[in-house]
A = this chain, B = another copy of it.
Amino acid sequence: GDICCQFPIDLFFKEMKSNKHMTRKVIHSIKVGVALVFVSLLYLLDPLYKQVGENAMWAIMTVVVVFEFFAGATLSKGINRGIGTVLGGGLGCLAAIFAQAVGGVGKAIIVGITVFIFGAAATYTRQVPNVKKKFDYGAMIFILTFSLVVVSGLRAEQVLEIARDRLSTIAMGFAICLFISLLVFPIWASDELHDSLVARFEDLAVSLEGFLIISFNSTSHSKLTLMLKSLVLHMLLSISTLAQGFSKEYFENVNEKEKSSFNFSSKCKSVLHSKTKDESLVNFASWEPWHAKFGFCYPWGIYLKLGEDLRDLATTILSLKGCLKSPTQPSESNTCRQPVKEPCEAIVASLAWTLRELGESIKKMKKCGSEDTILPKLKTVRQELSQIPGPSTLGTNNLERTDGLGLAT
């Protein structure tokens, strides 16, 4: 009965989730299509075409290249493109005017030399890690604009005019992008970052519960308890570190435990490999203007730190699963295992509960009752842990002695 009840809920949630992703993708595609049609009007409508002429091409190019999935990414790319074009165009004009002044064969030589120097220097700058992270696209556009302006300045007489016209059409393209990206069904990188962080708490809680199932099927008693003790101590530290920054008041009862699906290992791994995604989302989120729940200058750095802590936790869970699984020892009496099973399950449930609690508090952005609910719970866990009969009394003594060490700080 239990499985029958959970199954449709599971399916429904999965569909909801994938549907949400689908919907966002479709919305993004339609937005790009609309932006393209808008920018095409520069060509299609005669009065507009008379104003901009062939330069309308640059507006189309800007829309295609700059319009990204997340609003923050669009802003970041657009501003990069703007700065790169202005800088490249400005320096290009100066170089072109200088080359004009020299004249003759020297003109071509000077153009060649400046193109080489600026191209190589900007390419080198692009490879500096900090520049690469935030301004890679801007540097590329700088090289492009600089080369185009210098080189075509050799032929066309009105370099300044060309530069001005192109810049204004690029600005038009960017304005269309901004308008549609930020105001029509915006897709915020900050929301994605926030949601993915919250989901990771849930993923880890599910993994933890799954880890328990495996361990009771295939490991020796003594090893399991010692492992579990180390795991719990390590997790107590990690979780209490997490709890210090967060807190909450409302707790939604999470019923669908998804225990039926045994893919918790891959969930753990996906948490582990979230670093690159986190970094790019934080980068985009920091470009995004004030919206909804996120204020101006929201401390996105904390998300990076929390993500790092979660990855540490995932490492622990994953490797202990690995350790427990590797040598299969099916030949141990169930009677020996039984007395440990219940307290272990209680402990793991408490830890999973704490993780969900913390995740919820982040989701609701409310200060959670760290002092009122979570810390007492963790202390209970620690006491329960010391009551499990261990393979050696030595270990248990040590555990009792360190009681309150991690939580007091």
Q: List residues of chain A with CB under 8 Å of any chain B CB.
A: 25-26, 28-30, 32-34, 36-37, 40, 43-44, 49, 54, 56-57, 60-61, 64-65, 69, 108, 111-112, 115-117, 119-121, 123-124, 127, 140, 143-144, 147-148, 151-152, 154-155, 220-223, 226-227, 230-231, 233-234, 237, 272-273, 275-276, 311-312, 315-316, 318-320, 322-324, 326-329, 331, 391-392, 394-395, 398-399, 401-402, 405-406
Contacts and interface: CB of A to CB of B under 8 A. Distances in A.
A327 B233 contact: yes
Give the dominant DSSP class at A's interface. Answer: helix
A395 B65 contact: no
Q: Which of A148, A399, A405 has the most CB of B within 10 A?
A: A148
B60 A220 contact: no
A154 B44 contact: yes
A144 B319 contact: no
A121 B115 CA distance: 38
B148 A60 contact: yes
Contact of A147 (B60, B111, B140): B60
Q: Which of A30, A56, A226, A276 has the most CB of B within 10 A?
A: A226
A127 B112 CA distance: 40
Nearest to A220: B398
A64 B168 CA distance: 22
B40 A327 contact: no
A120 B63 CA distance: 13
Given A65-B144, A328-B402, A331-B401, 11 more contacts: A30-B120, A40-B112, A43-B155, A44-B112, A60-B147, A64-B147, A65-B140, A230-B324, A230-B326, A234-B323, A234-B326
A123 B37 CA distance: 14
21 contacts: A26-B124, A29-B123, A34-B116, A37-B115, A37-B119, A40-B112, A43-B154, A57-B152, A60-B148, A61-B148, A220-B394, A220-B398, A221-B394, A222-B392, A233-B326, A315-B315, A315-B318, A316-B319, A319-B319, A327-B406, A328-B405
A398 B276 contact: no
B49 A155 contact: yes
A33 B234 contact: no
B391 A395 contact: yes
A244 to B, nearest CB: 16
B323 A316 contact: yes
Q: Which of A26, A140, A394 has the most CB of B within 10 A?
A: A394
Given A226-B223, A319-B315, A119 B402 contact: no
Contacts of A328: 402, 405
Contacts of A394: 220-222, 391
A273 to B, nearest CB: 5
A123 B33 CA distance: 8
Contacts of A33: 115-117, 119-120, 123
A322 B315 contact: yes
A404 B312 CA distance: 32
A287 B233 CA distance: 48
A71 B29 CA distance: 32
Contacts of A112: 37, 40, 44
Given A36-B147, A116-B34, A402 B124 contact: no
